[in-house]
Structure 1
Amino acid sequence: MMVPGGIRMEHVLFSLKTFGAGILAYWIALQCGLPNPYWAIGTVYIIVTPLSGGTTSRAVYRLAGTVLGAVMIVVLVPNLVFSPLLLSLGIALWCGLCLFISMLDRSPRSYVFMLAGYTVALSGFTLVQVPETSFDVAVARVEEIAIGILCASVISRVVFPQQAGPVLAHRVEGWLDNARTLTRDVLTGEADSAVLREERHKLAADAVALRGFTDQVDHEGAAGRVMADRMAALQQRMIAVLPLLSEIEDLLAALGRDATTSVDRSTILERVVHWLTPGAFDLSAAKAETDALLAEIDQDRAHLEESARDWDVLLALRLTGRLKDLVEVWADCEVLRSDLSSGEAHTLRRTLATRHRQGRELHIDYGIALRSALSVVIVTLVGCGIWIWSGWSYGAGIAQIGTILCCVLAAMDNATPVLRKVVTLMLIALGAAFFYKFAIMPMVGSFYALAAALGLVLIPAGVLLAVPATWIMGFQVSVNLIYMLTLDNQVSTNFNAFANASLATFGGVALAMITLATVRAVSTEWSAARLLHSGWRAVADVASGARQIDPELIAGRMTDRLGLIAPRLALLPAGSEVQENDILRDLRVGLTVLELQRIRREMPRRDHRLLDDLLDQIATHYQQGTAGLAKRKEAVAEALDRCLNEVLFEVGPASSRLRDALVGLRSGACPGLAPPTFTRPARSLIA
Structure 2
Amino acid sequence: MNRQQAMSRTSSLHRHSAATLHAIKRAGREWGAGAGLVWLHLFKTVVAVLAAMGIAMLLDLPQPRIAMTTVFVLMQPLSGMVLAKSFYRIVGTAVGTIAALVLGAVFVQQPEWYVLGLTVWVAACTAAAVRNRHFRWYGFVLAGYTAALIGTPLVMQPNALYLAALGRAAEVAVGIVCSSAVSALIVPMQTSTVLLRTLHVRYANFTALASSVLSTRLPRGTFERRFADLVDAIVGFEATRVFAAFEDPSIRMRSQHLARLNSEFMDLCARLHALRQLLKRLHWRGEVIESVEPYFRELASLLSTPPRDGEGDSAHASRVATALATFQTSLPKRMRSTRVAIEAHAPSLLPDFDTSGELLYRFVSEFILYANTYASLAVEDNVISREPGIAPYMNKTNGYVVAFMFLRTAVVIATVGWFWIETDWPSGSLALTGAALTCALTSSAPNATRLAFQMAVGALFATVAGYVFTSFVYPVIDGFPLLCVALTPVFAAGAFLMTRRNIAGYGVGFSVFFCLLAGPDNVIAYAPMSLINNGMAIVASMLVASVGFAVVFPPDMGWLIERMCGDLRRQGVFACHGVLPGLNRRFQSGTHDLMFQLRMLLTPRSRRHRDALRWMLVTLEVGHAIIDLRKECAAAAYVNQMDSRWNASIDDLRGDIARLFARPDKRRIARALLAVRAATWVAQDVLDRLRHDRDRRHDLQRMLSCLHFIRTALLDRDAPLGTLRTRVSRSARSRAAAR
Residues 1:61 and 2:88 aligned together: yes
Partner AA of 1:294 in structure 2:
Q
Equivalent-residue separation in structure 2 for 1:287 and 1:164 (angstroms) = 28
1:540 alignment counterpart: 573
Residues 1:113 and 2:136 aligned together: no
Residues 1:666 and 2:711 aligned together: yes
Moved more, 334-343 or 21-30: 334-343
CA contact (8 A) 2:42 2:495 kept: yes
Moved more, 559-568 or 113-122: 559-568
Residues 1:297 and 2:324 aligned together: no
1:427 alignment counterpart: 460
1:205 to 209, 221, 232: 232
Equivalent-residue separation in structure 2 for 1:303 and 1:634 (angstroms) = 36
Count residues in correspondence: 664
Partner AA of 1:463 in structure 2:
F
1:48 alignment counterpart: 75
Moved more, 239-248 or 592-601: 592-601
2:287 is paired with a residue whose SS is coil
2:201 alignment counterpart: 174
Task: Note the alpha carbon deviations across 1:504-542, whole angstroms, 9 max, x for none.
Answer: 112211221232222231326555433321022232354
> Which structure's relative contact order is higher, taking Cα pairs within 8 Å and 6+ residues apart?
1
Equivalent-residue separation in structure 2 for 1:50 and 1:149 (angstroms) = 15
2:247 to 208, 220, 230: 220
Residues 1:238 and 2:273 aligned together: no
Moved more, 5-14 or 388-397: 5-14
1:514 to 529, 534, 547: 547
Q: 1:594 to 1:340 in 2, by over 3 A?
A: closer
1:345 alignment counterpart: 382
CA contact (8 A) 1:263 1:300 kept: no
Equivalent-residue separation in structure 2 for 1:530 and 1:322 (angstroms) = 33
1:374 is paired with a residue whose SS is helix
Task: Note the alpha carbon deviations across 1:639-676, whole angstroms, 9 max, x for none.
Answer: 212322332243234533431221121133332379xx
CA contact (8 A) 1:99 1:373 kept: yes
1:192 to 188, 211, 219: 219
Task: Report the Cα offset of residue 117 of structure 1.
Answer: 0.9
CA contact (8 A) 1:49 1:466 kept: no
1:552 alignment counterpart: 585
CA contact (8 A) 2:302 2:320 kept: no
Task: Report the Cα offset of residue 406 of structure 1.
Answer: 1.3
1:152 alignment counterpart: 179
Give ranges in structure 2 of 5+ residues lacking alignment: 1-29, 308-314, 688-695, 724-739
Task: Note the alpha carbon deviations across 1:426-450, whole angstroms, 9 max, x for none.
Answer: 2222221111111111111211111
2:15 alignment counterpart: none
Q: 1:134 to 1:361 in 2, by over 3 A?
A: same
CA contact (8 A) 1:541 1:547 kept: no
Task: Report the Cα offset of residue 421 of structure 1.
Answer: 2.4
Residues 1:34 and 2:61 aligned together: yes
Q: 1:528 to 1:244 in 2, by over 3 A?
A: farther
Task: Note the alpha carbon deviations across 1:201-258, whole angstroms, 9 max, x for none.
Answer: 1211222122222222111131342465543332222111221111101111222287
2:44 is paired with a residue whose SS is helix
1:623 to 641, 644, 662: 662
Query: How big is the alpha-carbon RMSD for the aligned residues of Structure 1 and Structure 2?
Result: 2.9
1:449 to 474, 479, 482: 482
CA contact (8 A) 2:498 2:507 kept: yes
Q: 1:301 to 1:95 in 2, by over 3 A?
A: farther
Task: Report the Cα offset of residue 293 of structure 1.
Answer: 1.3
Moved more, 378-387 or 574-583: 574-583
TM-score after normalising by structure 2: 0.83
Equivalent-residue separation in structure 2 for 1:505 and 1:22 (angstroms) = 22
Q: 1:655 to 1:228 in 2, by over 3 A?
A: closer
Equivalent-residue separation in structure 2 for 1:580 and 1:290 (angstroms) = 31
Task: Report the Cα offset of residue 107 of structure 1.
Answer: 3.4
Task: Report the Cα offset of residue 481 of structure 1.
Answer: 1.4
TM-score after normalising by structure 1: 0.89
2:646 to 597, 607, 611: 607
Higher Rg of the two aligned structures: 2
CA contact (8 A) 1:304 1:313 kept: no
CA contact (8 A) 1:528 1:578 kept: no
Task: Report the Cα offset of residue 187 of structure 1.
Answer: 0.6
1:480 alignment counterpart: 513
1:129 alignment counterpart: 156
CA contact (8 A) 2:213 2:276 kept: yes
1:162 is paired with a residue whose SS is coil
Partner AA of 1:295 in structure 2:
T
Equivalent-residue separation in structure 1 for 2:31 and 2:545 (angstroms) = 34
Identity %: 20
Residues 1:565 and 2:598 aligned together: yes
Equivalent-residue separation in structure 1 for 2:600 and 2:123 (angstroms) = 27
Q: Deviation above 6 Å: which 4+ runs of structure 1?
A: 4-7, 304-309, 545-549
CA contact (8 A) 1:524 1:572 kept: no
Task: Note the alpha carbon deviations across 1:266-323, whole angstroms, 9 max, x for none.
Answer: 2321221122114367455455423211112232455577788945322222222222
Q: 1:305 to 1:363 in 2, by over 3 A?
A: farther
Equivalent-residue separation in structure 2 for 1:528 and 1:175 (angstroms) = 29
CA contact (8 A) 2:74 2:82 kept: yes
Equivalent-residue separation in structure 2 for 1:341 and 1:467 (angstroms) = 35
Q: 1:346 to 1:268 in 2, by over 3 A?
A: farther
Moved more, 308-317 or 54-63: 308-317
Equivalent-residue separation in structure 2 for 1:419 and 1:327 (angstroms) = 49
Q: 1:230 to 1:599 in 2, by over 3 A?
A: closer
Moved more, 641-650 or 95-104: 641-650
Higher helix share: 2
Task: Report the Cα offset of residue 420 of structure 1.
Answer: 2.6
Equivalent-residue separation in structure 2 for 1:569 and 1:500 (angstroms) = 38
Moved more, 649-658 or 553-562: 649-658
Moved more, 560-569 or 573-582: 573-582
1:395 to 417, 428, 437: 428
CA contact (8 A) 2:105 2:158 kept: yes
Moved more, 71-80 or 281-290: 281-290
Equivalent-residue separation in structure 2 for 1:304 and 1:608 (angstroms) = 33
Task: Note the alpha carbon deviations across 1:586-615, whole angstroms, 9 max, x for none.
Answer: 122223333444556633555333333322
Equivalent-residue separation in structure 2 for 1:397 and 1:643 (angstroms) = 67
Task: Note the alpha carbon deviations across 1:147-200, whole angstroms, 9 max, x for none.
Answer: 110011011111111111222222222222221121112111242122112211
CA contact (8 A) 1:54 1:216 kept: yes
Q: 1:294 to 1:237 in 2, by over 3 A?
A: same
1:354 to 389, 400, 411: 389
Q: 1:159 to 1:185 in 2, by over 3 A?
A: same
Moved more, 185-194 or 567-576: 567-576
Q: 1:278 to 1:70 in 2, by over 3 A?
A: farther
Q: 1:609 to 1:398 in 2, by over 3 A?
A: same
Moved more, 278-287 or 507-516: 278-287
Q: 1:427 to 1:24 in 2, by over 3 A?
A: same
Equivalent-residue separation in structure 1 for 2:122 and 2:613 (angstroms) = 39
Q: 1:598 to 1:245 in 2, by over 3 A?
A: closer
Partner AA of 1:363 in structure 2:
K
CA contact (8 A) 1:103 1:411 kept: yes
2:328 is paired with a residue whose SS is helix
CA contact (8 A) 2:321 2:367 kept: no
Partner AA of 1:290 in structure 2:
L
Equivalent-residue separation in structure 2 for 1:613 and 1:14 (angstroms) = 59
